[in-house]
Amino acid sequence: MNDDDSPSHSPQVLRNNADNFKELTVGYHVGDKWFPMDKPIRCSYKVKLVKFFSSPGAGGETVYPEGNSGDDLDPDLDPDLDLDPDPDLDLDPSFSCHSSLFAEAKGGDPASIQLARVTVTDERGNTSSQIPCNGGAALALPVESRGVTIRQLRAVWANVQRRCTDEKWTNRQGVLLKPEQVNLYDVNKYVIKPFTKTSQRSFVESLPSTTGPQPPRWFISHWWGEPVKDFLSCLEQHTRDFLWNKDDVQDAGGGGMTIDTPYWVCAYANNQWHLTDDITRDPSKSGFTKALIAANGRTVSILDKEGTVFTRVWCVYELYLALLVERKLGFPRVWAAYTAHKHLSKVGSGYNDEALEAVGIVHGVRGAPCDLNSRVTALREAYFPMGLVFQSLDIKVETSIEDDRRHILNSIVGKAEKDLDDAPESMHEKYDSLNNLIHSTFATSQGALQAARREDTGTWQNVLIAMSKATDIEKISFDFGYGWDNILAAEAMELISHLPTALQRLHLAEANFGPHFVHALADWIDKANDLEVILISASCINGDDDSNSN
C-alpha cells in the first residue's frame, strides 16, 4: 500500500514536464522506434512467433515465421537459425516481444520501422489487440495487462539519478535524499504522480514505450520502502537467472526472461489517481489477484535488507495467493525470493569471479534455469544472506491501514465478502498453514540448510523443523560432496530424519555416512507415503558412523 503523497509544486520540480521526464520518453516514441535494441534478444515465451523485417529498397515486407523461445534472434550468435532467406540482406528485427505477438510493419528502413498493430495472446489463451499510442497518448489497459519491463524500469532509475540531487528531493520525514536512498514512496511523489497527472491513468499506460497490453510473466511482491535501485538490481538478476527456456519445465517455471518481458509491479500498474479501481474491498477481487492469475501464479518476493516485507499484510497475502490459492487454479508452484546483496560469484561458466548486485533462492524442483544441477543451485544460493531466511521463520503481520489487515486476514481464513469487516481471528489453522509454507520454502534450500548448520544448534534445529513441515515440495537433492564442511554422520542422520514425508523424489550424492545413516534413511522411507523415486549416487554404504567423510 502507498501513502497518497503529492509532489512538490516548486517551479524547480515542475519547471518543464517534457524535460523533467525525458528518460521516460526520449528514444521510446512510437513514431521513432519501439524498444530500441542494444543487445541480441531472446523470445520470452515458448511459442512460435511471426516477425516482420523490412529491408532498404526491398519494396515490401519479409516474413520470418519460425522463431522459438530460447533461440537467439541474432544469426551471428546462432548460425543454425535460418532467419534470413536472403544472405545478402542485412536485416535487423524491428521489435522484441513478451508473448505470442503479431505485428504489421510498414516502411523501408528497418531502423525507423513503425509498429502498426500489436496482438498479444497471454498464457491463458486470451487475445487482445491494440493500436499503438500516437504521440504518447495513454492507453486503456486492464490492470492485469499493465506489466512493466526492465527496460522501462531502467528509464525510471535514470530519471531518479538525474533529478534527485539537483531538485533536492526529500523523503516523507523531510530528510534530503540521495538517489540510492529513493524508494517507491518517493518515486510515486516525484515521478509517477507528476508524470501521470495529465493522463490520470497508471504509469504503465502513460508511457510512450507501452504500445499495447503487457501481460506479466511474473508477479512481484515487495515493500514500497525498499530503495528502487535495490529493487531493480533484484529484477535484473532474476532476469539473468531465468533467461533460459529450453524445455517445458523451464517454460512453466518462468524461463525465457528478457529485459522486455513484463513484471507486474503494483506501483506502476495501479492507477495512483484512482486506487479504489484496482484495490477493492474484497482482496480476492483486487488488481493484485487478477495480475497473479495472469502470471500463472509465478511470484518473486523482493526482500529488503531488514526483512520488512514479511511484516506487511499485503505482501503476506500475496504469498498466500501464490502458495495456496494457485493449487486450486491448477498452476505449478513457482516462487522465488531475491534480495540486493553485492557479492563476487564463482558459480559455473559465465559467473566466474563475477560481481553481482543481487541473489535469489528459488523454490521448486530444478532451481533457476541457469542452474545446471543441484550442486550449482546450492553454490548460487549460498550467497543469499541467510539472516533473512532465519528472520522469515518468525513472520509477524502489521500494516498502517487497519481495514486492509482486517479484510485480508478474513479473506485468508475464507470468510464471505459480507463478513470481511469482522474482527479477524488472532489464531487460525490457515495462518499456521501459510507460515509453514513460507518457512519450509526457505528451509528446503540447500544454502539455507548449510548456513543454519554453521550458525548454532538452535538455528539448525529450527530450520530442520521448518523443513519437516513442507507439504508441497516434490523433490530434494543433497550433494554432500560440496558445501557441507565435513558434516558428521550424526548430523546427516538428523537431516534425513527431518525430510518432509510428502516428498516424491529424493536424490543423495556422496552420502558416505555408514550403516546407521542407511537405517535412518530406511526409517524415513517407511513414513514417506508419497515417495516415488530415490536415487543414491557416488556413495559408499560402509565404515564407521563417526566418519567425517563427505
Contact 215/119 with Cβ under 8 angstroms?
Answer: no
Distance of alpha carbon 246 from alpha carbon 132, whole angstroms: 31
Q: Which residues have a Cβ under 8 Å from the Cβ of 427 and sit 6 or more positions away?
A: none
Distance of alpha carbon 474 from alpha carbon 489, whole angstroms: 25
Angstrom CA distances, 475 to 326, 457, 478, 505, stand at: 19, 26, 10, 5
Angstrom CA distances, 87 to 63, 84, 151, 278, stand at: 14, 6, 31, 50
Distance of alpha carbon 214 from alpha carbon 364, whole angstroms: 26
Angstrom CA distances, 114 to 106, 287, 324, stand at: 6, 32, 44
Q: Supply the pLDDT for residue 352.
A: 59
Q: Quick one: which of 512, 502, 519, 501 has its CA closest to 536?
A: 512
What the block records as the C-alpha cell of 256 is 525465457
Spans of the chain below 50 pLDDT? 1-16, 28-120, 128-136, 349, 398, 400, 546-550
Q: Rounded to 5 degrees, what angle do the CA atoms 436, 438, 444 make? A: 90
Q: Which residues have a Cβ under 8 Å from the Cβ of 401 and sit 6 or more positions away?
A: 1
Q: Which amino acid is at 247?
A: D
Q: Supply the pLDDT for residue 467.
A: 92
Q: Which residues have a Cβ under 8 Å from the Cβ of 209 and sit 6 or more positions away?
A: 24, 28, 34, 35, 149, 151, 152, 155
Q: Is the dihedral of CA 260, 266, 268, 271 positive or negative?
A: positive
Q: Supply the pLDDT for residue 121.
A: 53
